[in-house]
Chain A
Amino acid sequence: MPEFEPKIVAFVCNWCTYAGADLTGTSRIKYSPNVKIIRFPCTGRIDFMLLLKAFANGADGIIVSGCHPNDCHYTSGNFHAKRRWIMFKELMDFMGIDMNRITFSWVSAAEGAKWAEVVNTTSARIKELGPYVSYKELVNRPIEEEVKNE
């Protein structure tokens, strides 16, 4: 049985984390290949619905990463994002969605090594947690069964 390779989606900001990930590559630091990076101008742009859509489309884990507080390219985008994540995390946990599958981090453009570490620890954690079966089952429930389960 092939070993479970988690699918991880990373929502990163262009100016810090994306550049940091670039640095990881140019420094030839090896890191887990499970991550697909999606580039945003700023973490403040990341809508919480996108995280849910990522899970719905097959992601087993998510990384959300941006500039350190006070270093945001747009001054305050990451402060807004921080507040949003605080509320979102609480709501998700209350609804029973597994918050262990989401990693939030601040990774600057100079922190190539940190990016690798974030990805590797997340990947290892998701590998241990296994695929997000309960979510996928919920999403893929066929209509006929939905109507049947009145």
Chain B
Amino acid sequence: METTHKLLRKESLEKLYNHLSEQRRIYAPVKTSDGKVEYRYNPDFPDVTFDHIRSTLSVKNLVFPKVENLLYYTSTKTETTVTEIDINKTKEVVLWGAHPCDTAAFDILRSIFCWDINDEFFLKRLEKLIVIGLGCKSSDEYCFCTSVGLSPVSSKGSDILLTPLKNGHFRADILTEKGKKIAASGIDLFENYSNDEILVTEVKQKFAHDQVTGKLATVFEHPFWVENSLRCIGCGACAYVCPTCACFDIQDETKGKNGRRYRSWDSCGFGLFTIHTSGHNPRSVQSQRWRQRLMHKFSYMPERNNSLGCVGCGRCSSGCPVDMNIAEQLETLQSI
């Protein structure tokens, strides 16, 4: 779909925000009292931040929540009744102010959740999601979107992308049918754009991902894995904050006769992630688990899903208690 750039004035931002939140929930970033950035439902416009580099948690919660009921059941002496979740009850939600790394993640998640069968829960949530992207005017040393084929102004995954301009207004790109519907919904806020200069940060490329993918196919037994994973403590922080990590655990919880089956986030970094019922654990050592993480994202996924498993947002590295910096490790790997 061809896009012509439009102009959205600073003053019209609040009007757009309020219009969007009139009939839908809106998920927008706010700064918390301890200096972190958190996405919350329906904050007031003055609290919404436009200056953030990254939020602590990703926004995958909208399509892959940290806990999601799958079905309910009731057991009596003679039979068990299963009640399905009515996914049609899923409500529309607007994701406001998501940077290009986060918006690109939705496609990657789709390649995982619709790999062999279509995950209905995920798809319905994605269908009801409207993404208003926000280009990046600042970045830090953890960002590496340009190393994974993205950029601070990439339009991948956004329905409407707002890029900050040097004059304080925004360049708006209406990219999808969903975006078109919003723009045409009687608000008339998008004006003609006359090539005002964009205010966008520069993210230096740290490595070439296709080179890394090629290298990974040859270094499975390399001592690099042990040397560089000794300090990993094996928590789930990197997987949980990552916008593209999608491993989950399914559990049943029963109270008396009633119960529910739910799925919740899981991490391949946990020691018992791969333990078999026999007690055998094929990935019993952290180096094997660390290798799995990097190879899954940069070798197995390109091979099977035709997409990288990483968007270069840097959350894993900035959230890691022991500085397991994925970009640094891949840079080193590239030159082995």
A-to-B contact residues, CB < 8 Å: 143, 146-150
Identify the closest chain A residue to B57 (Cβ).
Answer: A150
Identify the closest chain A residue to B25 (Cβ).
Answer: A148
Contacts of A150 in B (CB 8 A): 38-41, 57, 61
Contacts of B262 in A (CB 8 A): 143
Q: What would 17 A/B residue contacts be, using CB atoms closer than 8 Å?
A: A143-B67, A143-B68, A143-B69, A143-B262, A146-B67, A147-B61, A147-B65, A147-B66, A147-B67, A147-B68, A148-B25, A148-B41, A150-B38, A150-B39, A150-B41, A150-B57, A150-B61
Contacts of B66 in A (CB 8 A): 147
- Chain B contact residues, majority secondary structure: strand
B interface, size bucket: 10 to 19
Q: How far is the CA of A148 from the CA of B61 in the complex (A)?
A: 10
Nearest CB of chain B from residue A140's CB, rounded to whole Å: 11
| Tally of contacts, chain A with chain B, CB under 8 A | 19
- Chain A contact residues, majority secondary structure: helix
Identify the closest chain A residue to B256 (Cβ).
Answer: A57
1/0 contact string of B229-264 vs chain A (CB within 8 Å): 000000000000000000000000000000000100
Using a CB-CB cutoff of 8 Å, which residues 52-68 of chain B contact chain A?
57, 61, 65-68
B-to-A contact residues, CB < 8 Å: 25, 38-41, 57, 61, 65-69, 262
Q: How far is the CA of A147 from the CA of B38 in the complex (A)?
A: 13
Beyond A143-B69, A147-B67, A150-B38, 14 additional pairs, beta carbon < 8 A:
A143-B67, A143-B68, A146-B67, A147-B61, A147-B66, A147-B68, A148-B25, A148-B41, A149-B41, A150-B39, A150-B40, A150-B41, A150-B57, A150-B61
Contacts of A146 in B (CB 8 A): 67
Identify the closest chain B residue to A56 (Cβ).
Answer: B255
Q: How far is the CA of A143 from the CA of B41 in the complex (A)?
A: 15
Q: How far is the CA of A126 from the CA of B40 in the complex (A)?
A: 38
Q: How far is the CA of A149 from the CA of B65 in the complex (A)?
A: 12
Nearest CB of chain B from residue A46's CB, rounded to whole Å: 22
Contacts of A143 in B (CB 8 A): 67-69, 262
Identify the closest chain B residue to A148 (Cβ).
Answer: B41
Contacts of A149 in B (CB 8 A): 41
Identify the closest chain A residue to B66 (Cβ).
Answer: A147
Identify the closest chain B residue to A149 (Cβ).
Answer: B41
Q: How far is the CA of A143 from the CA of B253 in the complex (A)?
A: 13
Nearest CB of chain A from residue B96's CB, rounded to whole Å: 14
Q: How far is the CA of A12 from the CA of B65 in the complex (A)?
A: 42
Nearest CB of chain A from residue B58's CB, rounded to whole Å: 11
Q: How far is the CA of A32 from the CA of B73 in the complex (A)?
A: 37
Nearest CB of chain A from residue B90's CB, rounded to whole Å: 10
Contacts of B39 in A (CB 8 A): 150
Contacts of B57 in A (CB 8 A): 150
Q: How far is the CA of A143 from the CA of B38 in the complex (A)?
A: 19
Nearest CB of chain A from residue B172's CB, rounded to whole Å: 27
Nearest CB of chain A from residue B335's CB, rounded to whole Å: 40
Nearest CB of chain A from residue B30's CB, rounded to whole Å: 11
Contacts of A147 in B (CB 8 A): 61, 65-68
Q: How far is the CA of A141 from the CA of B229 in the complex (A)?
A: 39
Identify the closest chain A residue to B59 (Cβ).
Answer: A150
Contacts of B41 in A (CB 8 A): 148-150
Contacts of B67 in A (CB 8 A): 143, 146-147
Contacts of B65 in A (CB 8 A): 147
